Amino acid sequence: MDRCPLCRATLNGATTCRRCRAELGSAQRAERDGRALADEAMRRLSLDDPQAALQLLEDALTLHAAPETLALWRMATAAWRRAIVVDVSEARSRGKSS
């Protein structure tokens, strides 16, 4: 968090805004935790586990709805849908060969 969400003052790493004196530690923790969940979701996507990635991203969006997390959620949703189509296609081809 670079700026205070209340008055937009630059924070420079502080947990209390110098201008409005807002305590931002909880908001900064939520942002940091959401980012960590999104990072783990990216790792899960790289391991071809879109279902786990989606769950992590939903949790991340609950904590901190960052635009990049939403974009990653959309990408994971598309990967998950593709995985379902592949599974259905494979099941159909196995059924025809039996």
In a domain, 76, yes or no: yes
Average pLDDT of the segment spanning 50-58 = 94
Mean pLDDT, the chain, whole residue set: 90
In a domain, 16, yes or no: no
pLDDT tens digits along 60-98 = 999 999 999 999 999 999 988 888 876 666 767 776 655
Residue numbers of the domain that contains 38 = 31-97
In a domain, 71, yes or no: yes
Tokens of 98: 């039996």
From 1-5, 37-41, 71-75, 86-90, the region with the lowest mean pLDDT: 86-90
Contacts of 30 (CB under 8 A, 6+ apart): 63, 64
Q: Is a pLDDT exceeding 60 seen at residue 52?
A: yes
Q: Is a pLDDT exceeding 80 seen at residue 45?
A: yes
In a domain, 77, yes or no: yes
In a domain, 12, yes or no: no
In a domain, 6, yes or no: no
Cα–Cα distance, 40 to 44 (Å, whole number): 6
* Residue carrying the six token digits 């609950």: 62
Number of domains in the chain: 1
Cα–Cα distance, 10 to 54 (Å, whole number): 33
